Structure formats: structure tokens, C-alpha cells
């Protein structure tokens, strides 16, 4: 079984989510075809091999021919509501809910071991080395894109305030520069899987399955294009993510649309312990030292290149 993933266009160019007609009988949907798009930013086509999924769906409503892939495409990639899909596919809303939840579970079970494995010690070390080489941020294992997480011994936050001293301004610039990897990841994820841009009307368990499915699908599609020349990629083409020119970060095409996700809210007290503050100060001093500084950081802060 193949799950054909792409965005929003039929062969005739009409949107997938059309106005529902209750009297119309269900008809199998035509295959997707990428519309003419020279830049390839807004539409993509990728056939996802889910041969191992089909056997697990036998006996469930997900096994209805033609319904599974089309319904999941419309829900995850376009963000259609469950009620809209019930009308479009002439099935009950409860059936749509079951199909979405059950299929997302299977997608996660099938793809998570392939594209979202727990890193081992060697892989963690590789991540640290890549953060140092690409983003000049030492001893970094990853990035969090939410201001709700407090400063701690293992999470660094920007220094609050305006008109900060030079060292603190540079620290904020370097931290924000390294954090852009997760900003871009969330931006692409929310732009390609538009269900994440709307309020998901479902129980918590179903919401978790939906989010997990979009994450592994995102990773799978990214990995599937890894060997393709950048200009030929459809899921994440050239210029889609942020890039640098002379140390100045240029926004990627995904930023042209508002894809911001809501904050999770404060996760703990914002008053940092002395040890955490001292650790941030030590990192700050390293980033302005002869060893840790990068040549363009002073020009960047003078040009106001420190994101908020």
C-alpha cells in the first residue's frame, strides 16, 4: 500500500476540500498531480511506501479501498476537519475519527523505528559536533523552540531586557542563531502538515497520535530526499529554510506564511538558580573570547541581527 502525500491540488487544480454535498454518492478520488510550480515551494508530491502498514489494518474501517490514503492526506496535509471529511467521503464522523486515530498509530509504529530512533552515545556525540561545526554552539545536544522552558543547568535561555551590554547581546545572538534549527523544523512541519496550524478537535490521546504521525512523516520525507539535488527536492526545496550570507541569516520561504505554534505555557519558575546563571555567564564569556568568538558576530549585533 502506498500513501501518496502532497498538498492541496487535484489534477484539475481544484482544492481538495470542496464544499460537501450530502446527496452525492462517494466516488474514489483521483490521484494527486503536482500543479505547475517552477519554484516548488507550495506543492509537492512524494509516494510514501507503507507496505508494512496494510496487514495491520485488516478488519478495521481503515481497510476500505481508496478511503485511507485520501482521507489521511486531506486531514494531515490540508487540515480539513473531521466533519468535512465525513461529508466528503460519505462516512460517519465517528468512523473518520477512528480511521484517523488508528492509521496515525500505525504510521507511528511503522516509521518511528526507522526515522526517530533514540540516539546512542556515538550519535549524541555527532549531534554535539555538528552543532559546534555548523552553529558554533559548544556542548549542545539540541534546541527547544518555546520560551516557556526556564534557565537551568541543561537549558540555556537568552538574557532578558533591551539595550544590553555587548557580551549579553552577542550571547543572545549566538543562542538565537543556534536555535533557528528548531524554528525551521517546526516551520516546515506546520506548513506541510496544516492540521498543526488549526485547533485539533479530538481527545488528548488522538491529538498525540496525530502529532506523532506528522513528525515521523516529516522525518521520512526529509530523509527520502536526502540524496536528491537540492533544486529537485519537493518537500523542502532550495531556499525553503533559513540560510546565511556573510554571517547574516536570511529567512527561508516558509516564513512567508504564519505558522507559529502556541506556547506550552510556563513549565517552572523563571527565577534561575545561581548555578544556572553562573553557567550561562561562563558560556557568555566563552562566546566573546578569542577561542569562542566568530568573526561576524560584532557586525551582526551592530546591524540589529539579534532575533527576539
pLDDT at 200 over 80: yes
Helices vs. strands in the chain: H and E counts, helices first = 9, 4
- pLDDT for residue 290: 93
Span 162-193, pLDDT tens digits = 889 999 999 999 998 898 889 889 989 998 99
pTM of full prediction above 0.95: no
Average pLDDT of the chain to the nearest whole number: 77
Q: Where are the alpha helices (DSSP H) in the chain?
A: 67-72, 78, 82-89, 93-115, 121-135, 166-192, 204-224, 274-287, 297-302
Residue 189's pLDDT is 92
> What is the DSSP code (8-state) at residue 206?
H
Closest CA to 270 of 136, 166, 160: 160
The Cα–Cα gap between 177 and 247 comes to 10
Tell me the per-residue pLDDT of 45-69, one tens digit each, with 9 for 90 and over. 444 544 555 565 566 555 655 667 7
Helix, strand, or coil (residue 305): coil
Confidence of residue 263 (pLDDT cuts 50, 70, 90): low
Please give the DSSP secondary-structure letter assigned to residue 182. H
Q: Report residue 117's pLDDT band, with 50, 70 and 90 as the boundaries.
A: very high
- Would the pLDDT of 265 be above 60? no
What local confidence, expressed as pLDDT, does residue 72 receive?
85
User: What's the pLDDT score for residue 35?
Assistant: 37
Which class for 292: exposed (0-12), middle (13-18), buried (19 or more C-beta within 10 A)? middle
> Residue 8 has what pLDDT?
35
The pLDDT confidence band at residue 32, using thresholds 50, 70 and 90, is very low
Alpha-carbon span 281 to 165, nearest angstrom: 13
Is 248 in a helix, a strand, or coil?
Answer: strand
Amino acid at each position: 500500500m502506498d500513501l501518496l502525500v502532497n498538498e492541496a491540488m487535484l489534477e484539475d487544480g481544484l482544492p481538495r476540500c470542496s464544499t460537501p454535498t450530502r446527496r452525492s454518492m462517494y466516488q474514489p478520488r483521483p490521484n494527486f498531480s503536482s500543479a505547475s510550480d517552477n519554484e516548488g515551494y507550495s506543492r509537492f508530491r512524494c509516494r510514501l511506501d507503507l507496505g508494512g502498514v496494510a496487514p495491520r489494518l485488516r478488519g478495521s474501517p481503515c481497510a476500505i479501498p481508496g478511503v485511507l490514503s485520501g482521507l489521511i492526506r486531506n486531514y494531515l496535509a490540508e487540515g480539513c476537519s473531521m466533519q468535512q471529511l465525513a461529508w466528503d467521503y460519505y462516512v460517519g464522523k465517528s468512523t473518520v475519527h477512528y480511521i484517523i486515530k488508528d492509521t496515525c498509530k500505525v504510521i507511528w509504529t511503522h516509521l518511528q523505528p526507522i526515522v526517530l530512533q533514540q540516539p546512542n552515545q556515538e550519535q549524541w556525540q555527532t549531534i554535539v559536533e555538528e552543532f559546534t561545526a555548523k552553529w558554533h554552539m559548544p556542548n549542545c545536544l539540541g534546541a527547544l523552540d518555546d520560551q516557556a522552558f526556564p534557565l537551568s543547568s541543561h537549558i540555556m535561555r537568552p538574557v532578558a531586557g533591551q539595550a544590553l551590554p555587548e557580551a549579553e547581546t552577542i550571547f543572545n545572538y549566538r543562542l538565537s542563531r543556534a536555535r533557528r534549527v528548531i524554528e525551521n523544523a517546526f516551520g516546515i512541519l506546520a506548513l506541510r502538515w496544516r492540521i498543526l496550524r488549526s485547533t485539533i478537535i479530538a481527545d488528548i490521546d488522538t491529538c498525540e497520535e496525530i502529532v506523532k504521525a506528522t513528525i515521523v512523516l516529516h522525518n521520512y520525507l526529509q530523509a527520502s530526499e536526502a540524496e536528491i539535488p537540492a533544486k529537485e527536492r519537493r518537500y523542502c526545496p532550495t531556499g525553503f529554510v533559513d540560510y546565511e550570507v556573510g554571517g547574516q541569516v536570511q529567512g527561508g520561504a516558509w516564513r512567508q506564511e504564519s505558522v507559529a505554534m502556541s506556547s506550552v505555557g510556563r513549565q517552572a519558575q523563571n527565577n534561575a538558580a545561581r548555578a544556572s546563571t553562573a553557567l550561562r555567564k561562563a558560556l557568555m564569556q566563552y562566546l566573546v573570547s578569542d577561542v569562542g568568538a566568530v568573526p561576524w558576530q560584532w557586525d551582526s549585533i551592530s546591524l540589529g541581527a539579534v532575533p527576539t
